[in-house]
Amino acid sequence: MYYQTAEPFKIKVVEQIKKSTKRERQQWLKEAGYNAFRLKAEQVYIDCITDSGTSAMSDKQWAAMMIGDESYAGCKSFYNLETSVQDVFGMPYVQPTHQGRAADYIMTRIYAKPKKYAIGNMHFDTFRGNAEVLGALPVDYVVDEGLNSVGNTGYPFKGNIDLNKMQNLINEKGAENISVVIVTVTCNNNGGQPVSMQNLREVSKLAKKYNIPVVIDSARLAENAYFIKTREKGYENKSIKEITREMFSYCETATMSSKKDGLVNIGGLFVTKNKDVFAMANQLAIVHEGFITYGGMSGRDMEALAVGLQEATSEDYLEYRIQQVKYLGDQLLKRNVPIIEPTGGHGVYVDGRRFFENIPQCEFPSQRLVVAMFEEAGVRCVELGACAFGSKDSDGNPIWPALELMRIALPRRVYTNSHLDVIANVCGDIYKNRNSFSGLKLVYEGPITALRHFTAGFELL
């Protein structure tokens, strides 16, 4: 029914946002070291730095919070959450954490081993930070199509793991030197690109052959399931939860930042089929998070998450969510802005290398675009390129990432298409005048390279 394609909700509460002058924004950028993370939220007009913890919660979620049980041990809110998680994941053992990186920390301590390899499609920054501290060796084996940002290649699952690369590493290094395979769904680093069910099945089969455990980083599990339903043959008549349960049948353990597809502002999950792994996760949670039935979350937040997981797996919601991201991508393409195609589930990724062809990667073109977007219109985005995913060799020389991107992440149920038009217009105007921009110089980075983008400082060249 074409006349029922609007947002599947109506707005009940609004929050005022602040407009500012260009001169004010220029001063704020200078004070923040040209790092969007160091800006104050009240200085931002449209905030697209992340989709993590920025969702608007529903009336049902707010109502559920009112019955939160704050008992230290055995609270009923945990059991409500456990039931909801088991329904979506189809896995028995549930350990809540205060957010995704806490679940990531627990997973790393159990699965990642010093001087052993962790295979992934594209590992995200929190795992890389944990791996760097631990001395594990993360490798990215996304399919080659996933590294191609030029145009729409017609490849529907650009988040897939390359099985040949995975097999070659096993042959070269030996299965005993590979501690874990981590599949991120959707794949954040290359545009929120989905992973197919076939790929999950084949990765699981190959890993099982060599007794290598498989973990799914499932922050955007519902968006990935929707892409499987709409793009993969044989799943068009499956429900979203039927698809998610099959996805998790191919792994031993899953971690989740619930701040994405849990539609909540805080929370994380460590979910597993392995009773022994669960026992280890319990102990780590007690030390670092809290007792096993709250894991760093309040009862009211667990209630909100229990409802949010059900809402996020609604097909009506997912259709709206994916189409809104596509709308922004289409508007940028109309203005000739180079983006990763097809658009993914949680944001639009601009190719900084193609956008600023005059700025070399060593001068951080995507970060320069982040700065320009805020300076011109108060729109805050995030760099996922030379700063966020650059690394260093053993001699300290820079290693530049294959993709050089600026992510425009869309908070869930927060902005209207009018806000997206502002984003598209300012990005299009910057692109028209792109040759007038110069790059940036990195003047400060923290001790952990994989996490430097959160606190880095820059100067304009």
Active site residues per annotation:
72, 124-125, 217, 219, 260, 453
Strand pairing category for 440-444 and 457-460:
antiparallel
DSSP class of residue 187?
Answer: B
Q: Is there a contact between 223 and 321 (Cβ–Cβ < 8 Å)?
A: yes
Closest CA to 248 of 200, 298, 297, 281: 200
The two tokens of residue 262 are 């849990």
**Exposed (0-12), middle (13-18) or buried (19+): which is 443, by Cβ within 10 Å?**
exposed
161 contacts 183 by C-beta, under 8 angstroms = yes
- Edge to edge, the sheet with strand 214-217 lists 93-97, 268-272, 253-257, 214-217, 178-184, 117-120, 137-140
> Do the beta carbons of residue 159 and residue 187 sit within 8 Å?
yes
Tokens linked to 197: 């069910």
- CB atoms closer than 10 angstroms to residue 364: 30
Per the document, the length of the chain is 461
Of 186, 180, 263, 264, give the one whose Cα is nearest residue 215: 180
Contact (CB, 8 A) for 293 and 78: yes
29-38 as b/e, with b when 16 or more CB fall inside 10 Å? beebbbbbbe
Encode 106-143: b = buried (16+ Cβ within 10 Å), e = exposed: bbbebbbbeebbbbbbbbbbbbbbbbbebebbbebbbb
How far is residue 445's CA from residue 192's CA, in Å, rounded to a whole number? Answer: 26
**Closest by alpha carbon to 377, among 335, 338, 430?**
430
- Asked if residue 20 lies in contact with residue 445, where contact means CB atoms within 8 angstroms, the answer is no
